[in-house]
């Protein structure tokens, strides 16, 4: 995650600004680093990209201010290259992956139109309820097997059209393992949530219609659409969960339900939802933050949970106890986001369309056709036919190992300055697995792919020369990966591993990491004065009583009649403590005299190293960074042409 965030910070903004064209003769040298010249053009481009379109204008820097950051950046990259970090296999592999990703839009047509964008918006803001029946088929299955599965699927479809029940048919024939639980029902889903081919088909169907067999990477599907509805937007909720397996015995289910009903009763009387979630929820991933779940659409959550959550009317509303396959839940609405308008979702829609493999493949085929035209692609059909005939014969007789009758230098096709021979294609074929049947059909398919690869490879090699913005972007990635790897070695990992240095830094700076005033004690919510009096009597007898002991005593005579918390509370940790100790706003449904705290204030004091390790580690990394930059400034001689710097205008 750290690597991704860092590289995005260094590079992703470069996609959004036009390239500034300067001729070589007009360019000027702004600075040199130990003799290496760096142009004004390069600096201006990065300065503008890093200082335009900022949400906070106060972050914008002048050219002089940005120059210091730029020099530090170039010094680190220079050192990384001198250390040979760009020659490592791991670096080359990672850089290639980034370059391939950035190159993709340059190696395909983009036919994203306003019509296709609005169609996609309609799908992303619509939810479809559907069932499916799957007949599994491997992506590389021989054609005769694929044809057999397709025909079987057609027969099942006809039975459905004749009135057969879809759920029963799914249970009898579907290869989807989940069918035993859902009879093929997938529930609601929005556009682009399913694999592309399935998604395309489902959204074209009307409620009640059954699709033709649809091929995906899983096999052939029959799809029945039950319903379509507008999306209700997204919710953020918190929940308290008591985990109960679907096959739990009735006694356990009833016990869990009673516990959840008791918690719901406390909530109805004003108990704090966050505190109850932290103490009682079985969802360990969310309990510590008060049960808060990530934002979700109704199609992104199990139906029972989604239905109860979206039935809540306003923020703060709390559901009754509901049951899902995971157990019992109480849900509290935190916030609701309605469906965004088209313009707000447009960037996301474009990205969805660009990443859709069905669309991408079609666009790439159009692009290859375009490359054939501009590079004057010419094919030797006679040589191709002889090769296919010879290869088919030899394969059947001798497993395609000997092709002495071929003329290896015979031209197969040519384009641009590239000439491809029969031998080139044979070498390619030797690396491809072939089934024992339909050899000629497979060869024709592989030849098409071979031509496709050669044309794209040729174009890929030209991208840096043809597109200056591409060249600059991949160079930014190149430098960014180097910078990350060296920073990891010099700063991040060093700080993590240098325990002695970290301890020394902490001792020197611990007064910079202080706890604010805190409260050490109890926060208690009672349902009645009788319970409050009972608790006061217990404290009078034993002021040092432990929390579990107090809870056990209460449960004997007053089960579920008080909510008790004990610990050290900072401001903002507990709204009851905030109100009674620091005069914050009164909690909702506060009961005067029945809700109380008991304990002492702790004055501000230094945090222990293990209490603020993340914060202290970050500060130590900052110190290591400063020391590193200082050493680089001494190692490399930096000269800046002040006159050239003055000609660069500040971003306004």
d(CA 599, CA 584): 18
Q: Percentage of residues in the chain with pLDDT exceeding 90?
A: 62
Taking 50 as the threshold, does the pLDDT of residue 5 lie above it? no
- Tokens describing residue 254: 């009833």
- For residue 620, the model assigns a pLDDT of 95
Q: Percentage of residues in the chain with pLDDT exceeding 70?
A: 92
Taking 70 as the threshold, does the pLDDT of residue 313 lie above it? yes
- For residue 443, the model assigns a pLDDT of 87
pLDDT digits (tens, 9 = 90+) for 352-407: 776 666 666 767 888 899 999 999 999 999 989 888 888 777 665 554 444 445 56
CA distances to 88, 90, 132, 415 from 443, in Å:
38, 35, 34, 21
pLDDT digits (tens, 9 = 90+) for 384-395: 988 888 877 766
Taking 70 as the threshold, does the pLDDT of residue 648 lie above it? yes
Residue 190 and residue 123 in contact, taking contact as beta carbons nearer than 8 Å: yes
* One-character DSSP codes across 452-474: HHHHHHHHHTTHHHH-HHHHHHH
Q: Which residues pair with 420 in a beta bridge?
A: 413
Taking 90 as the threshold, does the pLDDT of residue 523 lie above it? yes
pLDDT digits (tens, 9 = 90+) for 429-439: 888 877 766 77
Taking 80 as the threshold, does the pLDDT of residue 8 lie above it? no
- Tokens describing residue 320: 């009754």
Residue position matching structure tokens 């390790």 = 613
Order of strands across the sheet with 638-640? 36-39, 29-33, 638-640
pLDDT band at 168 (very low <50, low <70, confident <90, very high): very high
> What pTM was estimated for this model as a whole?
0.57
Taking 50 as the threshold, does the pLDDT of residue 570 lie above it? yes
Give per-residue burial for 441-478: e unless 16+ CB within 10 Å, then b. Answer: ebbeebbeebbeebbbeebbeebeeeeeebebbbebbb
Average pLDDT over residues 31-54: 91
pLDDT band at 512 (very low <50, low <70, confident <90, very high): very high
pLDDT digits (tens, 9 = 90+) for 455-481: 999 999 999 999 999 999 999 999 999
Residue 571 and residue 516 in contact, taking contact as beta carbons nearer than 8 Å: yes
Residue 75 and residue 447 in contact, taking contact as beta carbons nearer than 8 Å: no
Taking 70 as the threshold, does the pLDDT of residue 45 lie above it? yes
pLDDT band at 70 (very low <50, low <70, confident <90, very high): very high
pLDDT digits (tens, 9 = 90+) for 592-639: 999 999 999 999 999 999 989 999 999 999 999 999 999 999 999 999
Residue 486 and residue 86 in contact, taking contact as beta carbons nearer than 8 Å: no
Residue 68 and residue 91 in contact, taking contact as beta carbons nearer than 8 Å: no
């Amino acid at each position: 995650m750290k690597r991704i965030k860092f590289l995005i910070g260094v590079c992703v903004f470069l996609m959004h600004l036009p390239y500034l064209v300067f001729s070589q003769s007009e360019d000027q040298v702004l600075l040199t680093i130990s003799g290496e010249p760096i142009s004004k053009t390069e600096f201006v481009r990065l300065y503008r990209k890093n200082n335009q379109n900022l949400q906070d204008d106060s972050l914008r820097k002048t050219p002089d201010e940005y120059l210091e950051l730029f020099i530090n950046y170039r010094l680190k990259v220079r050192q990384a290259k001198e250390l040979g970090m760009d020659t490592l296999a791991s670096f080359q592999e990672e850089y290639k992956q980034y370059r391939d990703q950035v190159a993709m839009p340059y190696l395909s047509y983009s036919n994203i139109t306003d019509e296709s964008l609005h169609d996609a918006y309609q799908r992303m803001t619509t939810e479809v309820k559907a069932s499916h029946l799957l007949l599994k088929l491997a992506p590389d299955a021989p054609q005769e097997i694929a044809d057999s599965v397709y025909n079987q699927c057609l027969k099942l479809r006809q039975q459905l059209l004749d009135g057969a029940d879809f759920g029963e048919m799914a249970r009898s024939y579907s290869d989807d393992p989940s069918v035993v639980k859902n009879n093929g029902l997938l529930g609601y889903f929005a556009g682009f949530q399913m694999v592309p081919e399935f998604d395309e088909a489902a959204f074209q169907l009307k409620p009640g219609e059954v699709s033709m067999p649809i091929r995906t990477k899983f096999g052939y599907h029959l799809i029945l659409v039950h319903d379509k509805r507008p999306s209700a937007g997204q919710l953020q909720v918190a929940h308290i969960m008591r985990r109960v397996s679907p096959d739990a015995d009735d006694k356990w289910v009833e016990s869990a339900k009673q516990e959840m009903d008791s918690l719901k009763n406390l909530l109805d009387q004003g108990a704090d939802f966050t505190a109850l979630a932290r103490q009682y929820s079985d969802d360990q991933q969310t309990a510590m933050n008060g049960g808060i779940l990530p934002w979700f659409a109704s199609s992104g959550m199990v139906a029972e949970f989604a239905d109860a959550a979206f039935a809540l009317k306003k923020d703060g509303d709390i559901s009754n106890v509901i049951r899902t396959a995971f157990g019992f839940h109480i849900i509290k609405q935190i916030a609701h986001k309605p469906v965004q308008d088209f313009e707000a979702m447009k960037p996301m829609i474009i990205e969805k369309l660009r990443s859709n493999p069905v669309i991408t493949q079609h666009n790439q085929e159009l692009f290859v056709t375009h490359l054939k035209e501009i590079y004057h692609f010419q094919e030797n059909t006679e040589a191709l036919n002889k090769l296919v005939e010879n290869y088919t014969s030899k394969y059947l007789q001798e497993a395609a190992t000997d092709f002495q009758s071929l003329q290896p230098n015979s031209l197969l096709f040519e384009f641009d300055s590239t000439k491809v021979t029969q031998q080139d294609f044979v070498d390619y074929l030797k690396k491809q697995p072939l089934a024992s049947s339909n050899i000629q059909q497979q060869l024709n398919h592989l030849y098409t792919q071979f031509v496709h690869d050669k044309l794209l490879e040729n174009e890929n090699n030209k991208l840096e020369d043809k597109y200056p913005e591409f060249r600059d972007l991949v160079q930014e990635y190149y430098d960014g990966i180097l910078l990350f790897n060296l920073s990891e070695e010099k700063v991040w990992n060093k700080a993590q591993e240098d325990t002695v240095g970290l301890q020394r830094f902490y001792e020197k700076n611990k007064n910079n990491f202080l706890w604010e005033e805190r409260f050490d004690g109890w926060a208690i919510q009672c349902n009645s004065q009788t319970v409050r009096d009972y608790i006061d009597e217990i404290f009078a007898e034993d002021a040092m009583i432990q929390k579990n002991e107090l809870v056990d005593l209460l449960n004997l005579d007053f089960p579920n009649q008080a909510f008790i918390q004990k610990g050290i509370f900072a401001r903002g940790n507990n709204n009851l403590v905030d109100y009674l100790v620091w005069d914050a706003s009164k909690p909702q449904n506060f009961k005067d005299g029945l809700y109380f705290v008991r304990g002492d204030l702790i004055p501000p004091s230094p945090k222990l190293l293990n209490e603020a390790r993340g914060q202290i580690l970050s500060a130590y990394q900052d110190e290591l960074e400063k020391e590193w930059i200082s050493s680089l400034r001494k190692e490399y001689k930096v000269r800046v042409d002040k006159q050239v710097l003055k000609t660069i205008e500040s971003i306004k």
